[in-house]
Amino acid sequence: MASLTAHLLPPLLLQDRKTLFRTYPKLPVSYTGGRQNCAVCVKATGDSSESSTSLSIVKSVRHVWDKSDEDRVGLIGLGFAAIVALWTSTNLISVIDKLPIIPNVLEIIGILFSSWFIYRYLLFKPDREELFEIINKSLSQIFG
- Residue pair 10/31 in contact (Cβ under 8 Å)? The answer is yes
Q: Inter-axis angle of helices 72-98 and 102-117, to 10 degrees?
A: 110
* Ranges of each domain in the chain: 67-98, 100-143
Question: Does the pTM exceed 0.95?
Answer: no
pLDDT tens column, 1-14: 454 555 555 544 44
Residue 23's pLDDT is 52
- Residue pair 38/10 in contact (Cβ under 8 Å)? The answer is yes
- How much is the average pLDDT of 108-130? 95
Q: Give, as one character, the DSSP assignment of residue 71.
A: T
pLDDT tens column, 65-83: 787 777 778 878 888 999 9
Q: DSSP for 6-50?
A: EEE-GGG--TT-B-SS-BPPPPS----STT--EEEEEEE-S--HH
- How much is the average pLDDT of 90-108? 90
- Residue pair 121/128 in contact (Cβ under 8 Å)? The answer is yes
**Which has the closest alpha carbon to 40: 53, 31, 49?**
31
Rounded to 5 degrees, φ, ψ at 13 are -95, 80
**Which has the closest alpha carbon to 93: 110, 106, 108, 78?**
106
